[in-house]
Amino acid sequence: MVDISVKYMGLELKSPFIAASSGYTYDLEKIVALAKSGVGAVVLKSLFEEQISNEINFLEDVSADYTENQDFLQHYVKEHSLGQYIQLIRDAKREAGIPIIASINCYSLNNWTEFAKEIEKAGADALEVNIYNIPLNGSKCSSEIEAEYYKIVQSITQGIKIPVAVKIADSFTNLGNFISGLQGHGAKGAVLFNRFYTPDISLKNLKIVPATPFSSKAEYLKELRWIALLSPAMRNFSLSASTGVYDPSSAIKLILAGADTVQLCSVLYKQGPFVVQDFNRELKEFMKSKGFKKISDFRGMLNYANISNPQAFERVQFLKMAQKGEHVKPS
């Protein structure tokens, strides 16, 4: 009998597979279906700072002649948006019976500390903080941008007791150093990597249009490399892989590289919540075939520190192969 339970930021999960934050996880019926399918935890759809700000700006424009109402409108929109989110947390906790991780998407301090406290009071088991702000100011250096992240994370983690994970992009000068800084400012985990809205251009209409919202199967390779590189140095800090995971074999590879958990998103939209059963079943079959009794028996087995040729995770390796005239074949 194999045991696929894991710990993520101190939370006990019956499976390493987590339903990632998306519109899919804003529906209570789908959350319950995911729980029944055997998912380890659910990350709720993010509460967006931009969404709240846009609602406030719209109402302020509509009532521009009634300036005395603006403070009331700001308070109303924030309370209304947060109230709906709080109710979802309570309902999910009552109905799902698995850890529920709330999510906030922010780019400034604003009121996130207070929102985080309300989320904790509602019963969320953890909080995922999704921070991203495109650095349009060319005069701002990377250390200033990182300091802004640290300030947000510290302000949130100092105000609540539930564990906080930070969902990030890979676009940092020194990702390992940055993640160490997140831990130093109170984060208990990191989600690698965020997948942002991407614009495209319509040649027919000569307009900016959204690109496909779904990831591609090859995208998981990016987090495979970075988790393999980063996981050997992580102590009391969880790494969750996200983006491009469409099949159990990709998920198992990420665990071999050192991921504590693997988040599923696009595959849920395309195949439905019960695809998680396939992930759990194939994970168990893999473990039985290799003689592994629990996840910790093989998690990180093939990370940067545990393989005989660590250069396999370095960019220069491809150059060496090219110089030797070797052909790169897909696995």
pLDDT for residue 324 is more than 60: no
- In sequence order, which residues have a C-beta less than 8 Å from that of residue 252 and are 6 or more positions away? 282, 283, 286
Confidence of residue 320 (pLDDT cuts 50, 70, 90): low
Query: Can you say whether residue 293 is alpha, beta or left, with left for phi > 0 and alpha for psi between -120 and 50 degrees?
Result: alpha
pLDDT of residue 170: 86
pLDDT at 48 over 80: no
Kindly tell me if the per-residue pLDDT of 47 is higher than 60.
yes
Distance, CA of 122 to CA of 289 (rounded, Å): 42
pLDDT band at 8 (very low <50, low <70, confident <90, very high): very high
Domains of the chain by residue range: 6-304
CB 165 within 8 A of CB 128: yes
Rounded to the nearest integer, the mean pLDDT of the chain is: 86
pLDDT at 17: 98
The whole-angstrom separation of Cα 104 and Cα 108 is 11
pLDDT of residue 323: 55
**pLDDT, tens only, 202-246:** 999 999 998 877 877 888 999 999 999 999 999 999 999 998 999
Residue 65 has pLDDT above 50, yes or no: no
Helices (H), the chain: 28-37, 49-62, 70-96, 112-121, 142-157, 175-184, 220-230, 248-257, 266-271, 275-290, 316-323
Find, among 277, 214, 216, the residue nearest to 250 by Cα.
216
According to the per-residue pLDDT averaged within each range, which of 27-41, 122-136, 186-200, 315-329 is highest?
27-41
Question: What confidence score (pLDDT) does residue 19 get?
Answer: 98
pLDDT, tens only, 168-184: 988 888 999 999 999 99
Assess if CATH 3.40.50.720 describes domain 6-304: no
State the Cα–Cα distance between residues 184 and 181, nearest whole angstrom: 5
- Residue-wise pLDDT tens digits, 298-315: 999 999 999 888 877 776
Q: Is 159 helix (H, G, I), strand (E, B) or coil?
A: coil
Query: How high is the pLDDT of residue 91?
Result: 98
Q: Which pLDDT score is estimated for 299?
A: 98
